[in-house]
Amino acid sequence: MNVPALLATYQLRQREYLLRITRAMTSRLDLPSLLKLILSSAAELVGCRAGLIALEQEPTEFLPRQAILPRFQIRAIYNISPQSLPAFEPLLDVIPLIARGVEDDEGNDPLDSYYLDLQARVRQVEERLGIPLGQVVGLPLFFEDELLGIIFLFRTEYAFTEMDWQFLEGFANQAAIAVRNARLYHQLETERSRLATIIENSADGIMILNGERRVMVINQALAAMVGMTPEEALGRPCHEVLALENVQGDDLCQAEYPMEMLPREGLRCEGDLYRPGGGRVTVSVIYTPLYDEANRLVNIIVNVHDITRFREEEEMKSTFTSIISHELKTPVALIKGYAQTLARPDVEWDQETARQGLQIIEEEADRLEMLINNLLDVSRIQASGLRLDYADVNLQALAQKVAEAYRTQTNTHQIELDFPHELPLVWGDEERLRQVLTNLVSNAIKYSPDGGIIRIGGWTDQGDGTQPDQTRVVLYVADQGIGIPPEEIPHIFDRFYRVDSSLRRSTAGTGLGLFLAKAIVEAHGGQIWVRSEPGKGTTFFFSLPVSQGQDATTQTINHP
C-alpha cells in the first residue's frame, strides 16, 4: 500500500477513535473519571507516553475567582508519578498567558508568547526531574471563550505533526464541552445536596408540593408535627398531611380551595394541628408558588412554623391582664368603699360597725399585699433568682401553725394533722416553706366548696438506706374537693394556670400559688407532685432533704 493510502487509513482510524471517545466522554458526568478518560484517550490518540490535565479552580460564594491561589491545579495524570507533581508547577504559571487572550503592547498574539514560554518552562521541569520530557503540546480547553484548563502531552520519540495538532484541537473542543457538562452536573448535585440538607435539618417544617398539591418532599420536622413518617406522607394529597383546624387565613391545602385563585405572591394562614396520639400544635403556614418560563405552576413550597409557644405567651399575657385587673380591682374597691363609708361626715358609726369596717379594710389590704408579693416573687424568680435564708426548720411545728391559722378562716372544713412519728429537721427557709404550706392549704379550702376534711401530714423517707443524704421528709396536704382532671395535671404548676371548672369563675386567684410552691421546693433541692381524682379530692406532696447540721446561711438560687 502506498503512503497516501496508509495516511488515509490512519486518518480514518483516528476519526473513528475520536468519534468513539467523544461519545464516551459525553456520557460521563463524574469529573475525576472523565478527566482520566480524556487524558488517556488524548495520549493514545497521538502516541504520547505521559501527560497531565490542569483545571481552573471553581470560584465559590465565599472565595471569589480573584482570591484563589493557585488558580490552576493538576487534576489528572498519565504515566506520571504523584510524588513528582511538584516538579511540574512551572507549567501552571504559564497558563494565565493564554487565559488573558489579548495582544501585548507590541501587538503580539498571546498564543505565540504562550508557546515560547511553555518550551522554556518544560526545560525547568526537566531540570527538576532529571529526565527529558521531549516534545510537549499544551491543548487549551476553551468553552465559549472561557478557559477551563489545559491538557499537557509529552512525547520523546518524534515531534508533533500538523495532523496531530488538527486531531488534538478537535478532541480538545469536545473534551472542553464534556468538562463543562460534568462541572455543571457537579454544581447541580452540590446545590441539590445542600438544599436537601437545609430542608432536612431545618427546625421549621418544610414541604414541597407538585401542581396537583401532592407531597413530593417533606422534612423530618414537619413529619414530626403531623405525626407521620416522611415515607407515609410522600405522594399523598396535601390536605391529608397538613390537616389544619381552626384556620385563620387562606389554607391552600384545603381540598376545596380553588387553585386558580392562588396569587403569585403566595398565601399565608394559621391553624391547629391535632396529632394522632393527642396534643395540639399551633402553626403558621406560608405557601409560595414556583412557576417555569412558560408561566406554568411547577411546585408549591410550604413553610410551617410552630407558633405554639408564641400563642401560649399571648394567651398568658391576656390571662395575666385579665386576672390581675380583676384581682386588684376587688380589694381596692372594697378598701375604697369602706374607707369612704367610714369617713362620711353626716353619719356617726358605733364602735362595732367601725371595727368591722376597719377589719374588712385590713383583710383586703392583706389580700392585696399577698398578691403584690406573689407578683414580685415571680418577677424575682424569672429575673435574678429566689433568695433563701437557710436554717434548720421543724416542718411538723410549721404545719401546726399553718393549720391553726386556717382553722379560724373556715367553718365548713375540718383541718387535721397526721404525723405518726416525729420528723427530723430540714435545711431551708422557714418563711418560704410556710408560703408553700399556706398556698396548698388555701387551695384545698378554695376547691372544697362543700367542706370536708383537710389533712396535713408527713413522714420520713429513708431512700434505699445506703447514703445519709438520701433521707428526706415528705409532707402532704389532702382535701375532699372537686379534684383535677387528668389532662390538666401537667399544667397546674405553670404560671397563671388555673384548672378549668365552673368553680374557677367564682373563686379568687391568679394561678401563681402552685408555680411559686414548685419554685420554692425545687430551690430547696426537693420535689413536688400531685395525685387527684375528679370528684374525690386532691393530694399534694413535696419532699425536702433533712438537715445535716449546717450553719445558717443565705443563698440565691436561680429558677429556670
Q: What is the pLDDT of residue 318?
A: 67
Beta-bridge partner residues of 301: 208, 288
Q: Quick: pLDDT tens for 264-321.
A: 888 999 888 887 666 778 889 999 999 888 888 889 999 998 888 777 667 666 666 6
Helical H segments across 3-109, by residue range = 3-26, 31-46, 89-100
CATH number 1.10.287.130 is the correct assignment for the domain at 318-380:
yes
Q: What is the pLDDT of residue 257?
A: 84
- Closest by CA to 135, choosing from 150, 120, 115, 156, is 156
Average pLDDT score over residue span 38-63: 79
Answer whether residue 504 shows pLDDT above 50: no
Average pLDDT score over residue span 88-95: 79
Kindly indicate the confidence band of residue 350, based on its pLDDT and cuts at 50, 70 and 90.
Answer: confident
Weakest mean pLDDT among 60-74, 267-281, 361-375: 60-74
CB environment 337-355: b (16+ within 10 A), e (fewer): ebeeeeeeeeeeeeeeeee
385-557 homologous superfamily = Histidine kinase-like ATPase, C-terminal domain (3.30.565.10)
Counting residues of the chain whose pLDDT is more than 90, the rounded percentage is 19
> 55-59, 182-186, 324-328, 506-510: which has the highest mean pLDDT?
182-186
The secondary structure of residue 253, as a DSSP letter, is: T
Q: What is the pLDDT of residue 273?
A: 87
Average pLDDT score over residue span 526-536: 91
| CATH annotation of 3-193 | 3.30.450.40
Beta-bridge partner residues of 478: 455, 539
Q: Is the CB of residue 545 less than 8 Å from the CB of residue 482?
A: no
- Closest by CA to 199, choosing from 219, 215, 214, is 219
Answer whether residue 480 shows pLDDT above 70: yes
Q: What is the pLDDT of residue 285?
A: 92
- Closest by CA to 14, choosing from 36, 57, 44, 34, is 44
Q: Is the CB of residue 219 less than 8 Å from the CB of residue 200?
A: yes
Q: Quick: pLDDT tens for 211-262.
A: 889 999 999 888 888 888 889 889 999 988 998 888 888 888 887 888 888 8
Answer whether residue 530 shows pLDDT above 60: yes
- Closest by CA to 244, choosing from 203, 193, 207, 198, is 207
Q: Is the CB of residue 372 less than 8 Å from the CB of residue 379?
A: no
Cα Rg for the chain, rounded, in angstroms?
42
Domain 202-306 and domain 385-557, same fold? Reply is: no
Cα 471 from Cα 466, distance rounded (Å): 10
Kindly indicate the confidence band of residue 373, based on its pLDDT and cuts at 50, 70 and 90.
Answer: confident
Kindly indicate the confidence band of residue 104, based on its pLDDT and cuts at 50, 70 and 90.
Answer: very low
Answer whether residue 469 shows pLDDT above 80: no
Kindly indicate the confidence band of residue 43, based on its pLDDT and cuts at 50, 70 and 90.
Answer: confident
| Phi, psi (deg, nearest 5) at residue 115 | -70, -35
SS (H, E, C) 441-499: HHHHHHCCCCCEEEEEEEEEECCCCCCHHHCEEEEEEECCCCCCCHHHHHHCCCCCCCC
Cα 98 from Cα 118, distance rounded (Å): 11
Q: What is the pLDDT of residue 317?
A: 67
Rounded to two decimals, the pTM is: 0.50
CA dist 217 → 242, 280, 301, 305, 399 (Å)? 13, 23, 9, 17, 61
> Three cell numbers at 381?
424568680
Contacts of 557 (CB under 8 A, 6+ apart): 385, 386, 388, 523
Q: What is the pLDDT of residue 197?
A: 80
**Which overall architecture, per CATH, does domain 202-306 show?**
2-Layer Sandwich (3.30)
Domain residue ranges of the chain, discontinuous segments joined by +:
3-193, 202-306, 318-380, 385-557
> Three cell numbers at 492?
397546674
Kindly indicate the confidence band of residue 117, based on its pLDDT and cuts at 50, 70 and 90.
Answer: confident
508 or 258, greater pLDDT: 258
Count of all residues that appear for the chain in the document: 560
